[in-house]
């Protein structure tokens, strides 16, 4: 085996830091194949790992295989990539968090790779959902959020609502979670302190402690939506940052447990709760609350009015 | 008659000494010079050594009086920006001779995140920062002083504009825009800040935003009109409206004959229109005028250098790039252009030095990294005398064969078994405008070669061999534009495919037209046209091109061989890594069909697939396969052919 980061490795992958992490046990998941050449896959996987704040080492494992070991405090990864034809590769990956296998971590990597492959596929360049420019511009304000809850690791989405670094997100799963990790679109990770939690409205406000370049303007938020109107969510379902889902408002506003919600025909996956939803012009129209149980194409949005009520209370001094 | 008391004379003398000492120190620190090093401790007692941060692209030294409001204001403004743009590399050291007790309170209440360094007075004196505070010193790479100015109030605004301009030079357009907008918020009439904001938008390809910013500016007084219209001319070039750009440029010329950048804009338009002499004249005028924004000054010399470089005058071009880098040490385009000029002079060590300079400015710059790798390979080859001799001999043989029109004598062992797929890239013909950055063709070829070689399926002819062969045969870009010459060259190099084409440089990007040409049949199995942005989409486009080439190779030139040995559901194929087999490759097992004779004519049908096997282990000359599907038992001597499978994520 030879350890190398320079020759035979694409440019971006060169920026991976060399480090070594002992493998504590065989915690790898069954192999998965993806239609990407190995050299490209190396770059993409390495970028995902470094973007998650992990230190990464790369080793040639013989027979054309490449081994990545990555880690940070309380988390370690081992990923083996092998060619599966000149145009595809097989990946075997394993992740450990706080001494326990973390299948949700590897699931996040799978979905990221699937999204990447869809986004730049040669075969189907139009398959990835694209947002209009006015919506795509909002991407920089969206964040992935991770934390440790009572039931294990939680992952959801949120977005900056002020340049001072305040993030709006959903509240479910946050019971007993004092602090989360907020991952910005450029990969920067910040500790986020939950400063307000409203279980009834399912909204939370998280303070990341310092300023940001991009935030979503609430003053241009729209309350009324037309039935049949197209909307776009940007979030990180499956820990896949910048995922865009297009949807259509499929009914008038409904009251669920006394709170208004929009129902949309839109792909909604775990981890997407808290994603901001925009109209075609990039105005905020809602926040993804979740999906109708048992489906992944029927979602519910928290209207902007509820968001403003929640934040208005905050401005009046609560909490 | 008025008399002076002894005390007032002493005071006056003290002030005079202080002013003089300040003036002397100020002489030591001025733009273009190297800043003196120092070591100071911060409020927490941590030591900070300036010499240890000399590799940092930009450092702001902010000398301030901890008890003076104007002094504090500037620091607070910088601090707010740094907080809002965390991770943006805005490095500030605040230096004060105010006592620790007094300054600590301000630092805490203002939430200053920069180190506040305590100076006994010596460092302040060294930097002429004793009498007038705040004093601001902006340092570039290697601690070169870029800007130096003193005074409070208005100076904070000047400082922020200067920082925005320097940030724009470093291509941190978002931060530049944010800083300039911060200044505009406080002073909407600040034309310099509005100009930075407009150019930052332009660099981010926000053409509408840039057009609006410059249009508004052009309606605001004389200075605003000139700067606004100059910016608008640049916007129209990017909007592909050259006539409009030239018209607005001529208005700027009339209004402000001393402006320089407007001539660069005109030069770019004229060059793209193939009016090269007129373009040269404009570029030359641009270098003689002195009214220019700091972030555009270097571009004048660069474009004239690019003009001479394209004209084959690499020495002259290099001198101009050097001038550009003296003016603007953040000018990364200048570093790689200079390196390429050195390459053309055969000075690979100096070329590598330039590329490393570029990598130090931006560690993620694909251009600098790819070119540095190529230069390092050339230097390694020069140092390895044995390998160098072998390459020289090979090049001589190839050149002799080229001249005698003898092709590669290597014949396959049998008609069916595949030879390795060898591909060579012949330089893309560069057309259209004069891109600010030279070498896109070389970078594309080098990166694609690396990715294709990494696939194991395709072998790309070493660039060093091709470059030496071209030099030996005295073949330049005009000769290589002839398809016959390119084909002959490909055959000599035993390459089955040639990758060639053109790069059309346009404002805002380049259009790559890539053709793969079969050297045996002259057929063109693949033509691809792609828009390539030098920065934003280069990596993505290269990945897509790599995939397309690999798909064409596997689809149109599938590996063919024979089953050598069969043992149950396992077998050995006479193809290995030398031929381009990689793990997981699928082969279909073929059975020739008996020809049908119909009315005296023999009709041949395609071979029938009778089984499918998958590669489990690859050795240099052979590979092991396992049967994954079969209609009849496979046997030795069965023909195999690579199968392109549409693989979905699973």
Rounded Cα distance, B352 and B480, in Å: 27
Q: Would you state the pLDDT for residue B88? A: 62
Query: In this predicted structure, which of A195-204, B392-401, B545-554, B572-581 has the lowest mean pLDDT?
Result: B392-401
Q: Looking at per-residue confidence, does A68 or A117 come out higher? A: A68
Q: Do A213 and B447 touch (CB under 8 A)?
A: no
Rounded Cα distance, B172 and B166, in Å: 9
Listed in sequence order, the DSSP H helices in B474-519 are: 477-480, 483-492
Q: What is the mean pLDDT of residues B625-630?
A: 94
The residue of chain A with its CA nearest to that of B558 is: A86
Q: What is the mean pLDDT of residues B290-306?
A: 94
For residue B361, pLDDT beyond 90: no
Q: Which helix (H) or strand (E) holds B154?
A: helix B154-169
Q: Looking at per-residue confidence, does A251 or B284 come out higher? A: B284
pLDDT in tens, B127-152: 988 878 888 898 988 888 888 888 75
Is residue A60 within 8 Å of A2, Cβ to Cβ?
A: yes
Rounded Cα distance, B368 and B340, in Å: 10
Chain A positions in Cβ-Cβ contact with residue B554 (cut-off 8 Å)? 85-87
Q: Number of C-alpha atoms within 13 angstroms, CB side, residue A226?
A: 5
For residue B464, pLDDT beyond 70: yes
Residue B341 three-state SS:
helix
CA angle B363, B454, A93 (to 5 degrees): 80
Could you give the domains of chain A?
2-101 (3.30.310), 141-216 (2.40.10.10)
Complex-level ipTM beyond the 0.85 threshold: no
Q: Of B458, B554, B649, which has the smallest distance from its Cβ to A35's Cβ?
A: B649
Q: Looking at per-residue confidence, does B221 or A143 come out higher? A: A143
For residue B215, pLDDT beyond 50: yes
For residue A20, pLDDT beyond 60: no
Query: By the CB < 8 Å criterion, does B433 face chain A?
Result: no
Q: Where are the domains of chain B?
A: 28-360, 385-556, 560-642
Fold of B385-556: Rossmann fold (3.40.50)
Rounded Cα distance, B131 and B140, in Å: 25
pLDDT in tens, B257-294: 999 999 999 999 999 999 999 999 999 999 999 999 98
Q: Tell me whether the omega of the peptide bond preceding residue B361 falls within 30 degrees of 0, making it cis.
A: no
Is residue B191 within 8 Å of B217, Cβ to Cβ?
A: yes
Q: Number of C-alpha atoms within 13 angstroms, CB side, residue B415?
A: 0
Fold of B28-360: 1.25.40
**CATH code for the structural domain at B560-642:** 2.40.10.410
And the tokens for A291?
A: 């999906």
Q: Would you state the pLDDT for residue A36? A: 92
For residue A10, pLDDT beyond 80: no
Of A163, A133, A171, A152, the C-alpha closest to A282 is A133
Q: What is the mean pLDDT of residues A221-225?
A: 85
Neighbours of B275 (CB within 10 A): 14
For residue B480, pLDDT beyond 70: yes
Of B557, B576, B560, B650, the C-alpha closest to B616 is B576
Neighbours of A105 (CB within 10 A): 21
Rounded Cα distance, B282 and B79, in Å: 42
pLDDT in tens, B594-611: 888 898 898 888 899 999
Place of tokens 């992490």: A21
Chain B positions in Cβ-Cβ contact with residue A90 (cut-off 8 Å)? 584
- Left (φ > 0), alpha (ψ -120 to 50) or beta: where does A173 sit? left
Query: By the CB < 8 Å criterion, does B583 face chain A?
Result: yes
And the tokens for B310?
A: 């394209």
Q: Would you state the pLDDT for residue A108? A: 77
Q: Do A40 and B648 touch (CB under 8 A)?
A: no
Query: By the CB < 8 Å criterion, does B85 face chain A?
Result: yes
* Local confidence band at A151 (pLDDT 50, 70, 90 cut-offs): low
For residue B104, pLDDT beyond 60: yes
Is residue A297 within 8 Å of A266, Cβ to Cβ?
A: yes
Is residue B231 within 8 Å of B223, Cβ to Cβ?
A: no
Query: By the CB < 8 Å criterion, does B585 face chain A?
Result: yes
Is residue B628 within 8 Å of B619, Cβ to Cβ?
A: no
Q: Would you state the pLDDT for residue A270? A: 77
Rounded Cα distance, B567 and B644, in Å: 25
- Concatenate the DSSP letters of all residues of B6-63 into one string: HHHHHHHHHHHHHHHHHHHHHHHS-TTSBPPP-EEEETTS-EEEGGGGTTSS-EEEEE
Q: Do A32 and B648 touch (CB under 8 A)?
A: no
Q: Number of C-alpha atoms within 13 angstroms, CB side, residue A87?
A: 26
CA distances from A177 to A152, A157, A161, B297 (A): 11, 15, 21, 54
Rounded Cα distance, A129 and A169, in Å: 23
Is residue B209 within 8 Å of B217, Cβ to Cβ?
A: no
And the tokens for A19?
A: 């480090």
Q: Would you state the pLDDT for residue A247? A: 86
And the tokens for B304?
A: 């004239």
- Concatenate the DSSP letters of all residues of B97-139 into one string: -S-HHHHHHHHHHHT--S-EEE--SHHHHHTT-SSSSSEEEEE
Q: Of A8, A64, A117, which has the smallest distance from its Cβ to B582's Cβ?
A: A64
Angle separating helix axes B538-556 and A38-51, nearest 10 degrees: 150
For residue B13, pLDDT beyond 50: no
For residue A63, pLDDT beyond 70: yes
> Mutating which of B82, B86, B530 best tests the A interface, going by the most A Cβ atoms within 10 A?
B86
Q: Would you state the pLDDT for residue B372? A: 96
**Cα A111 → chain centroid:** 10
Is residue B336 within 8 Å of B371, Cβ to Cβ?
A: yes
Those residues whose C-beta lies under 8 Å from the C-beta of residue A67, and which sit 6 or more positions away, are A1, A58, A59, A60, A61, A78, A79, A80, A81
Q: Looking at per-residue confidence, does B505 or B635 come out higher? A: B635
For residue A120, pLDDT beyond 60: no
Rounded Cα distance, A42 and A66, in Å: 8
Query: In this predicted structure, which of A8-17, B171-180, B221-230 has the lowest mean pLDDT?
Result: A8-17
Q: Do B451 and A39 touch (CB under 8 A)?
A: yes
CA of A34 vs chain B CAs: smallest distance (Å): 4
* Local confidence band at B391 (pLDDT 50, 70, 90 cut-offs): confident
* Local confidence band at B634 (pLDDT 50, 70, 90 cut-offs): very high
Q: Do B450 and A39 touch (CB under 8 A)?
A: yes
Rounded Cα distance, B186 and B478, in Å: 56
Residue A261 three-state SS:
strand
Rounded Cα distance, A150 and B115, in Å: 40
Please tell me if the domain spanning B28-360 has the same topology as the one spanning B560-642.
Answer: no
And the tokens for B451?
A: 């990715």
Q: Would you state the pLDDT for residue B534? A: 66
And the tokens for B555?
A: 């689809």
Q: What is the mean pLDDT of residues B59-78?
A: 86
A-to-B residue pairs, Cβ atoms closer than 8 angstroms:
127
Q: Return mean pLDDT, chain A.
A: 79
> Mutating which of B81, B376, B454, B531 best tests the A interface, going by the most A Cβ atoms within 10 A?
B454
pLDDT in tens, A67-86: 999 988 888 999 999 999 99
Those residues whose C-beta lies under 8 Å from the C-beta of residue A317, and which sit 6 or more positions away, are none
Q: Return mean pLDDT, chain B.
A: 86
Query: By the CB < 8 Å criterion, does B486 face chain A?
Result: no
């Amino acid at each position: 085996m030879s350890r190398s980061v320079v020759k035979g490795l694409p440019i971006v992958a060169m920026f991976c830091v060399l480090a070594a992490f002992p493998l504590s046990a065989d915690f790898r998941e069954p192999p998965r194949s993806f239609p990407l050449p190995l050299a490209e896959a190396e770059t993409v996987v390495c970028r995902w790992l470094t973007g998650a704040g992990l230190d990464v080492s790369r080793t040639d494992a013989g027979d054309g295989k490449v081994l990545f070991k990555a880690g940070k405090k309380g988390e370690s990864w081992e990923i083996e990539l092998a060619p599966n034809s000149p145009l595809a590769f097989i990946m075997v990956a394993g992740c450990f968090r706080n001494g326990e296998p973390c299948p949700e971590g590897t699931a996040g990597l799978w979905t990221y790779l699937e999204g990447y492959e869809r986004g730049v596929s040669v075969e189907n360049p139009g398959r990835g959902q694209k947002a209009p420019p006015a919506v795509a511009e909002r991407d920089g304000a969206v964040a992935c959020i991770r934390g440790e809850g009572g039931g294990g690791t939680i992952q959801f989405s949120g977005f900056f609502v002020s340049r001072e670094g305040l993030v709006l997100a959903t509240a479910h799963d946050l019971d007993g979670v004092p602090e989360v990790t907020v991952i910005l679109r450029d990969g920067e990770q910040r500790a986020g302190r939950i400063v307000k939690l409203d279980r009834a409205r399912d909204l939370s406000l998280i303070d990341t402690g310092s300023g940001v370049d991009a935030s979503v303007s609430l003053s241009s938020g729209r309350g009324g939506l037309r039935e049949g109107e197209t909307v776009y969510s940007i979030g990180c379902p499956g820990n896949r940052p910048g995922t865009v889902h297009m949807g259509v408002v499929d009914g008038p506003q409904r009251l669920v447990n006394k709170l208004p919600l929009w129902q949309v025909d839109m792909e909604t996956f775990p981890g997407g709760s808290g994603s901001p939803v925009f109209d075609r012009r990039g105005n905020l129209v809602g926040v993804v609350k979740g999906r109708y149980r048992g489906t992944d194409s029927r979602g519910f949005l928290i209207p902007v009015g509820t968001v403003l009520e929640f934040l208005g209370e905050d401005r009046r001094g609560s909490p | 008659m008025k008399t002076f008391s002894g005390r007032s004379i002493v005071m006056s003398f003290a002030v005079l000494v202080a002013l003089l000492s300040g003036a002397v120190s100020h002489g030591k620190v001025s733009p273009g010079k190297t800043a003196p090093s120092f070591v100071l401790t911060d409020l927490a007692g941590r030591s900070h050594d300036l010499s240890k941060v000399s590799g940092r692209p930009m450092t702001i030294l902010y000398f301030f009086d901890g008890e003076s409001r104007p002094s504090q204001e500037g620091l607070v403004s910088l601090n707010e920006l740094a907080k809002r743009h965390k991770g943006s590399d805005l490095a500030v050291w605040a230096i004060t001779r105010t006592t620790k007790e007094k300054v600590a309170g301000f630092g805490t209440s203002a939430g200053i995140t920069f180190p506040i360094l305590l100076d006994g007075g010596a460092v302040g004196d060294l930097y002429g920062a004793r009498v007038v505070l705040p004093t601001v010193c902006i340092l570039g790479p290697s601690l070169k002083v870029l800007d130096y100015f003193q005074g409070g109030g208005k100076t904070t605004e000047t400082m922020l504009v200067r920082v925005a301009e320097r940030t724009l030079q470093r291509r941190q357009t978002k931060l530049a825009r944010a800083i300039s907008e911060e200044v505009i918020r406080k002073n909407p009439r600040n034309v310099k800040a509005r100009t930075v904001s407009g150019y930052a938008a332009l660099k981010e390809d926000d053409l509408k935003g840039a057009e609006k910013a410059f249009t508004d500016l052009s309606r605001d007084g004389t200075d605003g009109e000139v700067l606004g219209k100059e910016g608008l001319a640049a916007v129209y070039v990017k909007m592909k409206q050259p006539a409009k750009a030239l018209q607005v440029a001529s208005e700027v010329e009339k209004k402000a004959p001393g402006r320089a950048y407007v001539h660069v804009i005109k030069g770019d338009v004229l060059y793209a229109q193939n009016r090269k002499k007129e373009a040269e004249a404009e570029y030359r005028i641009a270098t003689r005028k002195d009214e220019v924004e700091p972030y555009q000054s270097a571009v004048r010399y660069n474009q004239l250098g690019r003009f001479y470089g394209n004209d084959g005058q690499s020495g002259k071009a290099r001198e101009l790039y050097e001038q550009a880098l003296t003016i603007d040490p953040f000018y990364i385009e200048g570093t790689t252009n200079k390196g390429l000029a050195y390459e053309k002079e055969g000075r690979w060590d100096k070329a590598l030095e330039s590329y490393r300079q570029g990598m130090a400015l931006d560690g993620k710059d694909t251009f600098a990294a790819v070119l540095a790798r190529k230069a390092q390979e050339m230097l390694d080859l020069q140092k390895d005398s044995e390998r160098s001799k072998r390459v020289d001999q090979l090049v001589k043989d190839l050149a002799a064969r080229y001249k005698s029109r003898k092709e590669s004598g290597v014949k396959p062992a049998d008609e069916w078994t595949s030879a390795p797929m060898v591909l060579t890239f012949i330089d893309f013909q560069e057309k259209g405008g004069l891109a600010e950055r030279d070498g896109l063709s070389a970078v594309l070829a080098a990166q694609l070669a690396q990715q294709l070689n990494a696939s194991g399926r395709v072998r790309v002819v070493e660039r060093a061999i091709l470059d030496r062969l071209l030099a030996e045969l005295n073949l330049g870009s005009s000769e290589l534009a002839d398809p016959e010459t390119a084909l002959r060259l490909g055959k000599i190099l035993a390459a089955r495919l040639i990758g060639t084409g053109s790069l059309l440089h346009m404002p805002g990007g380049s259009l790559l037209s890539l053709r793969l040409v079969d050297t045996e049949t002259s057929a063109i199995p693949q033509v691809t046209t792609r828009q390539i942005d030098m920065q934003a989409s280069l990596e993505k486009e290269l990945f897509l091109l790599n995939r397309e080439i690999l798909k064409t190779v596997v689809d149109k030139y599938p590996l063919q061989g024979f089953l050598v040995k069969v043992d149950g559901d396992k077998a050995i194929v006479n193809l290995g890594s030398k031929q381009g087999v990689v793990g997981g490759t699928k082969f279909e097992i073929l059975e020739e069909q008996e020809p049908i004779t119909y009315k005296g004519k023999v009709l041949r049908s395609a071979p029938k697939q009778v089984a499918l096997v998958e590669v489990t282990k690859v050795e240099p000359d052979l590979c092991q396969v396992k049967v994954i599907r079969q209609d009849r038992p496979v046997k030795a001597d069965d023909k195999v052919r690579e199968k392109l499978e549409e693989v979905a994520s699973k």
